[in-house]
Amino acid sequence: MVDRSPSPGRPRPPLSGASLALRFGGIAVIVAALAGAFAYVNGTLDPQRLKPKDLVNVLETNNGVHPGFRRNHSKGVCVAGYFESSSEARSLSSAQVFNEAQTPVVGRFALPAGNPYAADSSVPIRSMALRFTQANGQQWRTGMNSMPVFPVGTPEAFYQLQKAQSPDPATGKPDPKAVPAFFGSHPEAGPFLAWIKTAKPSASYATETYNSVNAFYLVNAAGQRQAVRWSMTPLAVDAAGAVAPEGTDFLEKDLIQRLSAGPLRWQLNITLANPGDPINDASKAWPEGRKVINAGTLVLRSSHPQNDGECRDINYDPLVLPSGIEGSDDPLLAARSAGYANSYLRRTSEVDQLPAAKQESAK
């Protein structure tokens, strides 16, 4: 490229000052237009757009920054085991997880809160995240919660709900009127609020039912799509009246104790939507009477502290799906995927700042 042409080319008449200015101006306009379009697309010139970093920033504002930890569902424990498929989902999905006898699973139980030191009794919700690794290398990742519906149906409303809980710069404390005001203007939160009124913090991860909350599609070999939601229903149920004990860290101890006595099992129940059921709104429950199939059994055999367990480095992005399962057009799914990716980059950059794991494991 540094070779020079032996002839200087055709001689050209010199440009006038005005013509030269016009030509440089034209170049500047074209370059600036391209740079400006790029700055719009990356959000710099579009500050109103809700971006993944906004979702994670508001969680950090509300909960403080705990380097190395997830920005939400921060307190948890890794588990491992496998999934045994039944034959019931085979006609609905071509995913290998429903067609092979066993698929290994690495999972995580957690509290849906942004503080890794939160008391286990501080939230009446538990979560279960799972990664199924199929023999063909494809994965199914799912993050489920013990609530039946999500408070809101859109990422914008979720963001506003988090903002309502942010400390007021003037007082350093959240405005106590902000959350009631939010729910006052968001009637879609009704089903969630009705549920949480009766919800109590459970004493164990093992006795909870965990729901996909968002809808997905199962796709079979013929390409037929069936909208579904799924739940992991515990096969171990405590005697009536089991209540959460005192203390802040009973859930992980309880899990270790139960696993030392034997594996824990959940049944994967897949609920099939009827035509007309809301597929794109996680704040709305589906009416009773929907067909439910038992797709198989989750068997968890061991646990490990999250700070150096295998689940630590897994982003339970609900849109990492094998062929045979697809995301729905629920807008929360894309927002979860985008937000988790942002949180994942932040915490994987801080792995060396995590406190060393001291807790015991159940093998």
Partner 1 sequence: MSAPLKHFVPLARLLHWLMALMIIAMLFIGAGMVASVSERHEWLIHLHKPLGIAILLLVILRLGVRFSTSQPPLPADLPSWQALAAKASHVLLYALMLILPLLGWAMISASGEPVMLSSSFQLPSIVSANAQVFAFLRKAHGYLAYLLFLTVLVHLAAALFHGWVRRDEVLDSMLRGKDRG
Residues assigned a catalytic role: 73
- Binding segment for partner 1 (CB under 8 A), chosen from 39-47, 119-127, 191-199, 269-277, is 39-47
Q: Which residue has the tokens 């005192």?
A: 246
Residue 116 and residue 134: Cα distance in Å, rounded?
A: 31
Q: How far is the CB of 351 from partner 1 (least distance, A)?
A: 5
3-state helix/strand/coil string of 133-145: ECCCCCEEEEEEE
Binding segment for partner 1 among 85-93, 248-256, 259-267, 320-328 (CB under 8 A)?
A: 320-328
> How far apart (Å, rounded) are the C-alpha atoms in residues 131 and 82?
10
DSSP lists the bridge partners of residue 75 as 111
Give first-to-last CA distance, the chain, whole Å: 63
Binding mask 159-198 for partner 1 (x = CB under 8 A): ----------------------------------------
Binding residue (CB under 8 A) for partner 1 from 114, 153, 155, 318 = 155
Q: In whole angstroms, what is the distance from residue 317 CA to residue 91 CA?
A: 26
The answer to whether 210 and 127 have CB atoms below 8 angstroms apart is yes
Tell me the CA distances in angstroms from 253 to 205, 209, 312, 356, one per residue in order: 10, 19, 19, 18
Note whether 335 binds partner 1 by CB under 8 A: yes
Does 327 interact with partner 1 (rule: CB under 8 A)?
Answer: yes
Say how many residues touch partner 1, by CB under 8 A: 62
Residue 117 contacts partner 1 per CB under 8 A: no
257 binds partner 1 (CB under 8 A): no
Per CB under 8 A, does 357 bind partner 1?
A: no
Contact call for residue 315 and partner 1 (CB under 8 A): yes
Helix (H, G, I), strand (E, B) or coil at 296: strand
C-alpha count within 13 angstroms, C-beta hemisphere, residue 348: 11
Distances from the Cα of 178 to the Cαs of 165, 173, 174, 201, in angstroms? 7, 11, 8, 24
Q: Which is nearer to partner 1, 134 or 211 (CB)?
A: 134
State which of residues 17, 137, 176, 241 lies at the interface with partner 1 (CB under 8 A).
137
Site stretch for partner 1 (CB under 8 A), options 135-143, 238-246, 268-276, 297-305: 135-143
State both tokens at 191: 């089903």
Out of 8, 169, 262, 289, the residue judged to bind partner 1 by CB under 8 A: 8
Closest C-alpha among 284, 285, 280 to residue 334: 280
Examine residue 339 and tell whether it contacts partner 1 (CB under 8 A).
yes
| Contact positions vs partner 1 (CB under 8 A) | 1-9, 12, 15, 20, 23-24, 26-27, 30-31, 34-35, 37-38, 41-43, 49-52, 55, 136-139, 155, 312-315, 317, 319-321, 323, 326-327, 329, 331, 333-335, 337-339, 341-342, 344-345, 348-349, 351-352
